[in-house]
Amino acid sequence: MPASKIADAVEISRNNLSAHLNIFLQAGLMDVEPSGRQRIYRINLTAVSDTIGYLVADCCQGHPEVCDALGKHLRTPC
């Protein structure tokens, strides 16, 4: 999705969004592909899934039921 559509969807300024997208890109959580004059941003689902898995294992200290609320939120369709 182009940055302008993401900014509109999450209701933040495009400048503010740009800073966040750069952080996600540097962390490997998103990919970007040029498309004409625009850049198309995509979530790197493998990296995000690995990050969530790590957080559940680390933050929940081996008790994934602590993170049930997160799991229910993630299963909610967008």
Overall pTM > 0.75: no
Q: Which residue has the tokens 């979530």?
A: 43
Distance CA 59, CA 69 (A): 14
Q: In the chain, what are the domain boundaries?
A: 1-43, 45-78
One CATH from 2.40.30.60, 3.30.930.10, 2.40.30.30, 1.10.10.10 for 1-43: 1.10.10.10
DSSP letters, the chain, are -BHHHHHHHHT--HHHHHHHHHHHHHHTSEEEEEETTEEEEEE-HHHHHHHHHHHHHHHTTT-GGGGHHHHHHHTS--
| pLDDT tens string 6-46 | 999 999 998 899 999 999 999 999 999 999 999 999 999 99
